[in-house]
């Protein structure tokens, strides 16, 4: 048991950092929060123009209910905005509210500073995400190793209008087998777009994009994103394009690009099965610092190497402000227990927030080939068809509420010792 209450440093003043700081301050812990004063670029659905499917809406509502039940002040502010019919970007307003709220707390002290390293003797929560300082990135890379910290996130394209007669289907996955000639056509199409755009071969390409791989050698894309595999009743193909079903269309796995939409369409349409394809979301590569969580943290968002160090938010690989709030709250719960000398706590798997926490530490990133960990992806909803059944939805929300009620009673009564 700690006989004094140490200060907790929260590095990062976004959704995760604010949620974490408010929870800790609410439990009597002194918090120093470091605001790096980086402009907020909102990627909420309203600002990006994303159209939500039924599954996304159910998951979003479930996660909001769970966060509100667990006492998140930021999600309560969003609910207030919804009730008042606020027409603008709610995420931005919630972040502004959070920054005002931390300034009003006596046991939260705010420092406007960019942090480039941490003191291992102090308790630190890193919640900087894509705003991680360059020197801090280097510090963490040296601490955990270059294969356990990444600076870019791959955004794979989502396509529709595929010729399914030329694909092999297995569950929610599609496989497009390519012979040598068709694979070479794809590579030459990439090179052709570079020539059309007058992009020189000495141009600084983004790592592991199809254009960067294509100029290395003709086999690079095949060995990185289109590795051949055995497909039932088909002779072993030279290369394979892998696709996974989404709410609308299919995501092409392993593919990223910084080329424009027209170029991407022409490249994909060089494949017979994709000759009439439509791009729902184009490929991209985003600046988003994140750790290879499986090899850096335990199930409680605590560093395996340094127990005084915790992580929250986008740096864990989560995407979207709801995921950031959920991870910030979960991390804060465990920091609070750590400070008080209590056993760490795992959230129930019947809840979406518990599934999020588990998914983070089960995700393995290879070759920096990472996509975002979304709260929409978890396995609480086994079959999309069940969403049309109101009884199933009621049971889903009831299981979540009951499991979190039991958890909250145990946690607040201090039984995690």
What's the whole-number average pLDDT of the chain? 85
Is residue 290 within 8 A of residue 317, CB to CB? The reply is: yes
With 90 as the cut, is the pLDDT of residue 339 above it?
Answer: yes
CA atoms within 13 A on the CB side of 217: 4
Which of the pair, 260 or 146, is modelled with greater confidence? 260
Mean pLDDT of 233-253: 87
The predicted model scores a pTM of 0.78
Render pLDDT for 260-311 as a digit per residue (tens, 0 to 9): 999 999 999 999 999 999 999 999 887 778 888 888 999 999 999 899 999 9
**Helix-strand-coil percent breakdown of the chain, rounded to 5?**
45, 15, 40
Mean pLDDT of 308-321: 89
| Beta strands in 302-403, from DSSP E residues, in sequence order | 309-311
With 90 as the cut, is the pLDDT of residue 129 above it?
Answer: no
Residue percentage of the chain with pLDDT more than 70: 88
Is residue 53 within 8 A of residue 340, CB to CB? The reply is: no
Length of the chain: 417
pLDDT of residue 384: 54
CA atoms within 13 A on the CB side of 103: 8
Mean pLDDT of 386-399: 78
List CB contacts of 221: < 8 A, sequence separation 6 or more: 186, 187, 190, 210, 213, 214, 239
pLDDT of residue 43: 62
With 90 as the cut, is the pLDDT of residue 184 above it?
Answer: yes
Tell me which DSSP letter residue 375 carries: G
Residue with tokens 């690009």: 257
Tell me which DSSP letter residue 303 carries: B
List CB contacts of 303: < 8 A, sequence separation 6 or more: 296, 297, 309, 310, 311
- One DSSP character per residue, 152-204 reads EEEE--EEE---GGGSEEETTEEEEEE-HHHHHHHHHHHHHHHHHTT--TTS-
pLDDT of residue 120: 86
Is residue 136 within 8 A of residue 115, CB to CB? The reply is: yes
pLDDT of residue 46: 58
Render pLDDT for 188-235 as a digit per residue (tens, 0 to 9): 999 999 999 998 877 888 888 999 999 999 999 999 889 988 777 777
Which of the pair, 393 or 364, is modelled with greater confidence? 393
Q: With bands split at pLDDT 50, 70 and 90, how would you rate the model's confidence at 252? A: very high
pLDDT of residue 368: 44
Lowest mean pLDDT among 126-130, 201-205, 342-346, 379-383: 379-383
With 60 as the cut, is the pLDDT of residue 145 above it?
Answer: yes
pLDDT of residue 285: 85
Rounded CA gap, 264 and 241, in Å? 15
Q: What residues form DSSP beta bridges with 373?
A: 318
Closest by CA to 294, choosing from 309, 308, 283, 304, is 304
Mean pLDDT of 232-239: 81
Q: With bands split at pLDDT 50, 70 and 90, how would you rate the model's confidence at 330? A: very high
User: Which spans in 254-320 are helix H?
Assistant: 261-268
pLDDT of residue 47: 53
Rounded CA gap, 289 and 314, in Å? 8
Q: With bands split at pLDDT 50, 70 and 90, how would you rate the model's confidence at 417? A: very low
pLDDT of residue 380: 52
CA atoms within 13 A on the CB side of 198: 0
Residue percentage of the chain with pLDDT more than 90: 48
Q: With bands split at pLDDT 50, 70 and 90, how would you rate the model's confidence at 42? A: low
Render pLDDT for 82-101 as a digit per residue (tens, 0 to 9): 899 888 888 889 999 999 99
pLDDT of residue 276: 95
pLDDT of residue 52: 63
Tell me which DSSP letter residue 249 carries: S
Long-range contacts of residues 300-303, Cβ cutoff 8 Å, at least 24 apart: 300/331, 300/334, 300/344, 300/345, 300/346, 301/327, 301/330, 301/331, 301/334, 301/357, 301/360, 302/334, 302/338, 302/344
Domains of the chain are: 8-152+289-412 (3.50.50.60), 157-282 (2.40.30.260)
Is residue 283 within 8 A of residue 198, CB to CB? The reply is: no
């Amino acid at each position: 048991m700690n006989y004094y209450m140490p200060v907790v440093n929260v590095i990062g003043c976004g959704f995760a950092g604010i949620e974490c700081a408010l929870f800790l301050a609410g439990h009597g812990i002194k918090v120093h929060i470091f605001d790096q004063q980086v402009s907020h670029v909102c990627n909420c659905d309203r600002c990006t123009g994303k159209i939500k499917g039924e599954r996304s809406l159910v998951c979003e509502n479930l996660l909001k209910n769970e966060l509100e039940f667990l006492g998140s002040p930021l999600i309560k502010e969003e609910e207030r905005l919804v009730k008042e019919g606020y027409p603008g970007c709610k995420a931005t307003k919630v972040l502004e509210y959070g920054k005002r709220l931390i300034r009003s707390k006596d046991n939260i002290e705010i420092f406007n500073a960019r942090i480039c390293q941490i003191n291992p003797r102090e308790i630190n929560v890193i919640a900087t995400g894509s705003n991680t300082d360059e020197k801090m990135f280097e510090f963490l890379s040296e601490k955990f190793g270059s294969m356990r910290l990444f600076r870019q996130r791959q955004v794979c394209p989502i396509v529709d209008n595929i010729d399914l007669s030329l694909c092999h289907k297995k569950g929610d996955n599609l496989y497009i087998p390519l012979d040598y000639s068709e694979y070479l056509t794809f590579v030459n199409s990439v090179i052709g777009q570079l020539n059309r755009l007058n992009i020189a071969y000495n141009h600084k390409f983004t790592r592991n994009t199809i254009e960067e791989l294509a100029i290395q050698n003709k086999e690079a894309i095949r060995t990185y994103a289109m590795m051949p595999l055995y497909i039932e009743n088909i002779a072993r193909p030279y290369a394979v394009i892998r696709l996974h079903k989404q709410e609308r269309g299919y995501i092409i796995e392993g593919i990223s690009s910084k080329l424009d939409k027209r170029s991407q369409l022409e490249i994909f349409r060089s494949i017979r099965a994709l000759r009439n394809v439509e791009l729902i979301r184009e490929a991209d590569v985003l600046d988003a610092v994140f750790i290879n969580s499986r090899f850096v943290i335990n199930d409680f968002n605590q560093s395996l190497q340094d127990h005084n160090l915790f992580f929250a938010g986008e740096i864990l690989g989560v995407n979207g402000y709801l995921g950031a709030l959920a991870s910030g709250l979960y991390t804060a719960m465990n920091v609070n227990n750590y400070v008080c000398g209590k056993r760490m706590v795992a959230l129930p798997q019947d809840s979406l927030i518990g599934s999020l926490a588990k998914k983070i530490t089960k995700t393995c990133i290879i070759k920096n080939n990472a996509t975002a960990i979304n709260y929409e992806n978890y396995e609480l909803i086994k079959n999309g068809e069940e969403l049309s059944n109101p009884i199933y939805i009621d049971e889903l929300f009831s299981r979540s509420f009951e499991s979190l009620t039991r958890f909250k009673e145990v946690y607040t009564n201090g039984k995690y010792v």
